[in-house]
Amino acid sequence: MYTSIIIHYDEITLKGGNRPFFERVLMNNIRESIKEIGYNKIYKEGGKIIIEIDEDTDLEKIKEILKNIPGISNFYFAVSEEKDLDKINKKTVELILRQAQDDKRQAQDDRSDKIKTFKIEARRSDKKFKFKSPEINAKTGEYVLENTKLKVDVHQPDLEVVIDVGNKDCFIYFKKIKGIGGLPVGTAGKLVSLLSGGIDSPVASFMMMKRGAKIIFVHFKNKTINNTGDGKIKNLVKKLSHFQGRSKLYIIPFEEFQKEIIAKIPSKNRMIIYRRIMFKLAGMIAKKENAKGFVTGDSLSQVASQTLENIGVIYHSANLPIFPPLIGMNKQEIIDLAVRIKTYETSILPYQDCCSFLIAKHPETKAKLDEIIKQEENLEIDEIAERIITEIKPEVV
């Protein structure tokens, strides 16, 4: 029975002069993600985005998609009606009865009526509409009282019915569905995310998407020690693509670098130098992609490479700013978020990260920059890097 979806956006409202740009990007992102399901029209009206849909549209599917689009604060399924109070009243009752029926069907063993009370909340953006909001509340409320068994409860109603008189149509709806908020992907520019197969880096990537960054994924892989294929990494990217649309993934072969490092670097420093090289290679990808920085899943002191000293020495190798959004989060908080964004179940599948293969029994925890730079001078990796990065092509997942 629903004919429209009304979308309220999040922080875009703070954006003053840039607002049309943010709105345009959000509309495009929405259009792109729902094009397979199909819709009739999408447009902007008075600080909201409205999608017109066919009555037989798969609401569950479209709900799952909209819940994952950064920039959407909340949305509603609504019916539209002409701006005529008699028609609005009839439609409101029809909608309430339908909802009560649906709820009853869902709670099969509980035969009692769950929806016993209601409240009408009228809004009037069309100031020329002849009834003011309190009058609509009173008149429609009365009609609902006469034509259903429901009672009014203005404080804690089981059902809150919004009657939104816009400039073109009137929308009637209830049940707010929460989105993830934040800003539309793409409004901040691009970032290269260093994606391992672990729990943390997918969560970090999600957090930066939510702040408007379009993420380009880079994964370093040693094919010899990890011959399980790229399925796990691609699946992680696929899950993250629910939030930003199709994503580019670069899988960079790492074994040649690893051989050089193992041959020339004492084991306690290998991890640090390995991660410095990762940033240099990721920097070459960032240049290709015109990205403005990096994302990592670092969390302070979680593992040996994440002590303050080591983070300082590792990040020093990057030519662009690094954003580690999990830096102050506890492992459990990160896990909770991984579960919520549905990357957790993939992240915990077995996978030998080329990085963990390098871990020494007693890794350095207080690296010194000059010492590390000196050891790095022995490495002959520039040509390898140049060749690999020139040849590499991203996959679109």
Binding site for ligand ATP (CB under 6 A): 194-196, 198-201, 219-220, 278, 296-298, 302-303, 305, 353-355
Instruction: Tell me which of ligand ATP, Mg ion, none is bound by residue 83, counting a contact when its beta carbon lies within the kind-specific cut-off of 5 to 8 angstroms.
Output: none
Closest approach, Cβ 246 to ligand ATP, in A, equals 20
Instruction: Tell me which of Mg ion, ligand ATP, none is bound by residue 261, counting a contact when its beta carbon lies within the kind-specific cut-off of 5 to 8 angstroms.
Output: none
* Amino acid letter, 142: E
Q: Among residues 34 and 355, whose Cβ is nearest to ligand ATP?
A: 355
Instruction: Tell me which of Mg ion, ligand ATP, none is bound by residue 296, counting a contact when its beta carbon lies within the kind-specific cut-off of 5 to 8 angstroms.
Output: ligand ATP
Residue selected from 198, 202, 212, 324 as contacting Mg ion according to rule CB under 5 A: 198
Residue 356, classed as helix, strand or coil, is helix
d(CA 314, CA 303): 14
The one segment of 170-178, 191-199, 251-259, 384-392 that binds Mg ion by CB under 5 A:
191-199
Instruction: Name, in order, each residue with C-beta under 8 angstroms of 192's C-beta and a sequence gap of 6 or more.
Output: 215, 216, 217, 218, 282, 285, 286, 289, 291, 293, 294, 295
Instruction: Tell me which of ligand ATP, Mg ion, none is bound by residue 364, counting a contact when its beta carbon lies within the kind-specific cut-off of 5 to 8 angstroms.
Output: none
Question: Looking up tokens 């409860």, which residue turns up?
Answer: 153
Question: Looking up tokens 């009637």, which residue turns up?
Answer: 172
Residue 71 in the binding site for Mg ion (CB under 5 A): no
88 phi/psi in degrees, rounded to 5: -60, -45
Measured from each CB, the residue nearest to ligand ATP is 198
Q: Among residues 76 and 344, whose Cβ is nearest to ligand ATP?
A: 344
d(CA 370, CA 154): 69
Q: Among residues 195 and 213, whose Cβ is nearest to ligand ATP?
A: 195
How far the first Cα of the chain sits from its last, in Å, is 35
The one segment of 27-35, 171-179, 190-198, 343-351 that binds Mg ion by CB under 5 A:
190-198
| DSSP output for 196-257 | -SSSHHHHHHHHHHTBTEEEEEEEEE-TTT--S-SHHHHHHHHHHHHHHSS-EEEEEE-HHH
Q: Among residues 83 and 239, whose Cβ is nearest to ligand ATP?
A: 239
Q: Among residues 24 and 342, whose Cβ is nearest to ligand ATP?
A: 342
Instruction: Name, in order, each residue with C-beta under 8 angstroms of 168's C-beta and a sequence gap of 6 or more.
Output: 45
d(CA 299, CA 333): 11
Q: Among residues 161 and 240, whose Cβ is nearest to ligand ATP?
A: 240
Residue 196 in the binding site for Mg ion (CB under 5 A): yes
Q: Which residues bind Mg ion (CB under 5 A)?
A: 196, 198, 353
